[in-house]
């Protein structure tokens, strides 16, 4: 079959498949009522922002809101508080570990004779520690912690089986400590994103299953008819990840170059079907909540969700363009990478329409600032990724630092910023204390956003020039190495700013915990819960 | 959406489609590709060296997949012809790599057949390639006043180590070099679509 025919049939199959899916999943697709998107508010609460991270006095409790519903939400928050607190504490630790490892790796690329005496500090190992501390530490701990906080609120019930999740999180973190230790010691399975030895992966599987269990138990006790958008993303992510992880790490199953296709099926899906949905779910919940107004279009969110579910899973082959793998598979992945523009556009339009006229809230709300910038970065990194998958562009950017810049735009600019925003909202609710120093939130925001901007711009330019140099056979290979040096140094500057931002964030959290005479958030339902029940 | 069952089943179906395309079909078609004619299995020493290559993370900067002439001038750089699935028949896991911070190594054994070059280059890359940003691996070597009989002394360019010191390769370094020298896919092979 000719490539064009494959391309066309993949395209048509995708469209038909997606249409069928949305049709089969729809509930009153053309129903003009916005009931589905209003489920996150109590009766009479629309129009009232909830922003626990804003300086005290800028948010008021909703005067007209149904007290019983607010009390129920406070009980939902209270049911998750100790659990989410544990997840977030772990997230802070892994964030700092990952920052230190990442910054070390970055500096080593332009100072290769720095810290060479110890094997565990060599670039190949410390870089791997950085990636795994982000991939299995910071991102899942922050994302799952947020999911466990949000899900009972969305289902209007208390969390059921939180103890399983606590045990699961303990196992998960024990596995990660063992995993990072073995990587530093020099025991690795040798596949990117799947380096942690499969024997340790068994612990992750057990821990992950225990963390997912409360979701099912809580779903069965739900008090709402409508499953809100965030539940779709979080619910599916919690089912997708175990499938990905089990199939990918199954010992002895994969052989030869098929291991490479499986590797990138996993590598890209852990981003697209785990971190991305957890972060999008957070935006879909916190953004309307903070501005006090339901999302604009329920149907656009439906398209965004099923589009992501359908297309994202098949894009991994674009990591192997030009490699020794079947051509049809690479072509399929390129087509589906371009198709991802569809759900991304749906999400972007929805976010924009919801925010329209509410941009003033950005000044008041730290949560919103992180979320909005994160949402913009989702659009930017997704569109960039789609074009990066095209053969003409991939020929230049593949194998260069350009890809590294893109990966950080997605996992930092989008996912991490969104999780920062969520944590600023959730922590006052689960601890019953205000953030003591609003200026430190600003410092964190500007360090993180300026840092990633420097990181991304410098590495994108450096990577592009590197790729152009490698494609020109008249230029020696060393030229492609030497020309990247100024950009690699700039990346270390950006990375250092990001790391400093994380230190500020963590120090602020510690300050909140040890604050004397802990103040309850004036507007928070947590206060209501503690006093009124 | 009202039904969690439909939601989860729908989500798992889309993942099943993706898994069929990227994992199951390649599993059926290329997982058991026969070794390319001319490809030799690794010796135990080379396999130990391959473990070193994995544990020190060489794959994060070096690819093992020269691309076709139509795509990139890899062959003109001396990196070799485009590889085929059969070239990786003994590679578990294959180390295709995603970065070329350093050059492709699929045929480094053919390009650099000297043990001494590799050993010295691992000890201090900048003594061989000025401006190289490859890490030095001094922990794979011992620096002593004299070598014992039977040990491999690394002949380094003058000025790399202090006067009167010798650098002796540890077994891990010798294994790694044996693996690097085994990377030679210069025998002819035809890609499926050629």
**Domain containing B37 — which CATH number?**
1.10.760.10
- This prediction has a pTM of 0.93
Q: Cβ separation of B17 and A189 shorter than 8 Å?
A: no
Among chain B residues, the shortest Cα distance to A215 is held by B4
Same structural domain for residues B66 and B109? yes
Q: Which residue has the higher pLDDT, A130 or A40?
A: A130
Mean pLDDT of A52-72: 75
With respect to residue B151, please indicate whether it lies within any of the assigned structural domains: yes
Weakest-pLDDT range from A23-27, A108-112, A161-165, B3-7: A23-27
Using N-to-C axis directions, what is the helix angle for A123-133 and A67-110, rounded to 10°?
170
Q: Is A400 on the interface with B (CB under 8 A)?
A: yes
For residue B72, list chain A residues with Cβ-Cβ distance below 8 A: 322, 395, 470-471
Same structural domain for residues B154 and B176? yes
The 3-state secondary structure of A99-166, one letter per residue: HHHHHHHHHHHHCCCCCCCCHHHCHHHHHHHHHHHHHHHHHHHHHHHHHHHHHHHHHCCCCCCHHHHH
- Whether B6 shows a pLDDT value over 90: the answer reads no
Same structural domain for residues B164 and B117? yes
> Is A437 in a helix, a strand, or coil?
coil
With respect to residue B82, please indicate whether it lies within any of the assigned structural domains: yes
A206 Cβ partners below 8 Å, 6+ apart? A168, A171
Question: Which segments of A26-66 does DSSP mark as H helices, in order?
Answer: 35-38
- Whether A63 shows a pLDDT value over 80: the answer reads no
Note the pLDDT tens digit of each residue in A149-188: 999 999 999 999 999 999 999 999 999 999 999 999 999 9
With respect to residue B193, please indicate whether it lies within any of the assigned structural domains: no
| A124, A313, A322: residue with CB nearest B15 | A313
The Cα A126–Cα A103 span in angstroms is 10
Q: What is the pLDDT of residue A529?
A: 38
The token pair that represents B51 in the structure block: 């473990």
With respect to residue B93, please indicate whether it lies within any of the assigned structural domains: yes
Side-chain-side CA neighbours of residue A439 (13 Å): 0
The Cα B69–Cα A417 span in angstroms is 41
Query: Bridge partners of B99?
Result: A399
With respect to residue B20, please indicate whether it lies within any of the assigned structural domains: yes
DSSP B136: P
Note the pLDDT tens digit of each residue in A103-130: 999 999 999 999 999 999 999 999 999 9
Note the pLDDT tens digit of each residue in A220-277: 999 998 899 999 999 999 999 999 999 999 998 998 899 999 999 999 999 999 999 9
- The number of folded domains in chain B is 2
- Whether B194 shows a pLDDT value over 70: the answer reads no
Selection from A32, A126, A141 nearest residue A90 by Cα:
A141
| B8, B72, B138: residue with CB nearest A117 | B138
Q: Cβ separation of A256 and B95 shorter than 8 Å?
A: no
Average pLDDT over all residues of chain A: 90
How close does chain A come to B150, measured CA to CA in Å? 25
Same structural domain for residues B26 and B100? no
Residue A291 CB-density burial (10 A; 0-12 exposed, 13-18 middle, 19+ buried): buried
- Whether A4 shows a pLDDT value over 90: the answer reads no
Which residues in chain B (24-83) have CB-CB distances under 8 A to chain A? 25-27, 29-33, 54-61, 63, 65, 67-68, 71-73, 76-77, 82-83
For residue B27, list chain A residues with Cβ-Cβ distance below 8 A: 254, 258, 262
- Whether B4 shows a pLDDT value over 90: the answer reads no
Q: What is the pLDDT of residue B83?
A: 94
How would residue A62 be classed by pLDDT, with cut points 50, 70 and 90? Answer: low
Which domain, by its residues, includes B12?
1-32
B187 Cβ partners below 8 Å, 6+ apart? B36, B37, B38, B39
Left if phi > 0, otherwise alpha if psi is -120 to 50, otherwise beta: which for A366?
alpha
Q: What is the pLDDT of residue B149?
A: 93
CATH architecture group of domain A265-519: Up-down Bundle (1.20)
In the block, tokens 């913009």 appear at A376
How would residue A362 be classed by pLDDT, with cut points 50, 70 and 90? Answer: confident
Note the pLDDT tens digit of each residue in A443-477: 999 999 999 999 999 999 999 999 999 999 999 99
Q: Cβ separation of B1 and A113 shorter than 8 Å?
A: no
Among chain B residues, the shortest Cα distance to A235 is held by B8
Query: What is this model's ipTM?
Result: 0.95
- Whether A32 shows a pLDDT value over 80: the answer reads no
| B17, B58, B133: residue with CB nearest A124 | B58
Which residues in chain A (207-246) have CB-CB distances under 8 A to chain B? 219, 225-227, 231-232, 235-236, 239-240, 243-244
In the block, tokens 């280059």 appear at B121
For residue A513, how many other CB atoms are within 10 A of its CB? 14
How close does chain A come to B160, measured CA to CA in Å? 13
Highest mean pLDDT among A51-55, A310-314, A459-463 belongs to A459-463
Q: Degrees (nearest 5) of the Cα angle B173, B175, B176?
A: 65
Note the pLDDT tens digit of each residue in B55-91: 999 999 999 999 999 889 999 999 999 999 999 999 9
- Whether A331 shows a pLDDT value over 80: the answer reads yes
How would residue A516 be classed by pLDDT, with cut points 50, 70 and 90? Answer: low
Element containing residue A526 per DSSP (H, E): helix A525-532
Spatial contact of B134 and B180, defined as CB atoms under 8 Å apart: no
The 3-state secondary structure of A385-424, one letter per residue: HHHHCCHHHHHHHCECHHHHHHHHHHHHHHHHHHHHHHHH
How close does chain A come to B6, measured CA to CA in Å? 7
| B56, B103, B129: residue with CB nearest A124 | B56
Q: Cβ separation of B10 and A186 shorter than 8 Å?
A: no
Same structural domain for residues B40 and B6? no
Same structural domain for residues B42 and B95? yes
Q: Where are the domains of chain A?
A: 65-225, 265-519
Q: State the greatest distance between any 2 C-alpha atoms of chain A, in Å, as a whole number.
A: 77
Weakest-pLDDT range from A23-37, A99-113, A182-196: A23-37
Q: What is the pLDDT of residue A526?
A: 40
| A116, A128, A235: residue with CB nearest B8 | A235
């Amino acid at each position: 079959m000719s490539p064009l025919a494959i391309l066309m049939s993949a395209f048509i199959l995708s469209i038909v498949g997606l249409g069928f899916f949305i049709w089969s999943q729809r509930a009153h697709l053309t129903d003009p009522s916005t009931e589905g998107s209003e489920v996150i508010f109590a009766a009479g609460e629309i129009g009232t922002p909830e922003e626990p991270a804003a300086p005290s006095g800028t948010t008021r409790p909703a005067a007209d809101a149904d007290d019983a519903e607010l009390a129920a939400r406070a009980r939902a928050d209270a049911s998750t508080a100790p659990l989410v607190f544990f997840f977030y504490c772990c997230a802070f630790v892994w964030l700092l570990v990952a920052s230190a490892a990442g910054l070390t790796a970055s500096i080593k690329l332009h100072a290769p004779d720095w810290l060479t005496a110890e094997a565990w500090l060599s670039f190949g190992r410390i870089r791997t520690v950085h990636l795994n501390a982000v991939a299995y530490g910071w991102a899942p701990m922050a994302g799952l912690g947020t999911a466990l906080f949000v899900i009972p609120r969305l289902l209007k019930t208390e969390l059921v089986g939180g103890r399983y999740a606590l045990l699961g999180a303990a196992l998960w973190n024990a596995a990660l400590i063992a995993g990072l230790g073995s990587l530093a010691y020099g025991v690795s399975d040798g596949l990117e994103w799947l380096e942690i030895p499969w024997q340790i992966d068994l612990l992750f599987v057990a821990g992950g299953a225990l963390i997912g269990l409360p979701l099912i138990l809580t779903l069965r006790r739900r008090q709402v008819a409508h499953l809100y958008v965030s539940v779709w993303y979080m619910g599916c992510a919690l089912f997708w990840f175990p499938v990905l992880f089990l199939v990918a790490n199954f010992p002895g199953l994969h052989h030869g170059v098929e291991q490479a296709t499986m590797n990138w099926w996993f590598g890209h899906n852990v981003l697209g079907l785990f971190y991305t949905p957890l972060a999008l779910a957070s935006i879909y919940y916190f953004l309307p909540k903070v501005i006090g107004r339901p999302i604009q279009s329920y149907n656009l969110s439906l398209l965004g969700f099923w589009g992501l579910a359908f297309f994202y899973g098949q894009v991994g082959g674009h990591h192997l363009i030009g490699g020794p793998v079947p051509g049809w598979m690479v072509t399929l992945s390129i087509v589906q990478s371009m198709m991802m523009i569809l759900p991304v556009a749906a999400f972007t339009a929805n976010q924009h329409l919801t925010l329209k006229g509410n941009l003033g809230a950005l000044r008041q709300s730290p949560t919103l600032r992180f979320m909005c910038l994160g949402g913009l970065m989702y659009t930017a990194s997704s569109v960039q990724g789609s074009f990066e998958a095209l053969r003409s562009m991939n020929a230049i950017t593949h194998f260069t630092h350009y890809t590294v810049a893109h990966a950080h735009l997605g996992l930092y600019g989008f996912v991490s910023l969104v999780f920062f925003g969520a944590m600023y909202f959730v922590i006052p609710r689960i601890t019953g204390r205000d953030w003591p120093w609003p200026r430190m939130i600003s410092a964190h925001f500007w360090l993180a956003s300026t840092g990633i901007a420097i990181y991304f711009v410098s590495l994108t330019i450096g990577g592009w020039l590197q790729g152009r140099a490698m494609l020109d056979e008249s230029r020696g290979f060393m030229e492609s190495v030497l020309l990247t040096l100024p950009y690699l140094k700039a990346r270390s500057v950006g990375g250092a700013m990001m790391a400093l931002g994380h230190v500020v964030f963590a120090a602020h959290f510690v300050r909140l915990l040890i604050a004397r005479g802990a103040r309850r958030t004036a507007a928070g339902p947590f206060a209501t819960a503690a006093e009124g029940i | 959406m009202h039904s969690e069952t439909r939601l989860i089943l729908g989500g798992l179906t889309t993942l099943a489609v993706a898994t069929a395309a990227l994992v199951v079909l390649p599993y059926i078609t290329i997982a058991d590709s026969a070794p390319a004619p001319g490809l030799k299995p690794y010796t135990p020493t080379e396999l130990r060296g391959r473990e070193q290559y994995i544990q020190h993370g060489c794959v994060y900067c070096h690819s093992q997949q020269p691309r076709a002439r139509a795509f990139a001038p890899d062959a003109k750089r001396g990196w070799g012809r485009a590889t085929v699935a059969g070239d990786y028949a003994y590679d578990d896991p294959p180390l295709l790599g995603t970065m070329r911070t350093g050059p492709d190594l699929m045929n480094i054994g053919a390009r650099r057949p000297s043990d001494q070059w590799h050993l010295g280059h691992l000890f201090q890359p900048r003594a061989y390639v000025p401006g190289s940003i490859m890490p030095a691996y001094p922990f794979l070597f011992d620096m002593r006043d004299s070598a014992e009989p039977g040990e491999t002394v690394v002949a380094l360019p003058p000025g790399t180590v202090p006067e009167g010191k010798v650098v002796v390769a540890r077994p891990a370094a010798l294994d790694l070099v044996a693996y690097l020298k085994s990377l030679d896919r210069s025998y002819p092979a035809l890609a499926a679509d050629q």
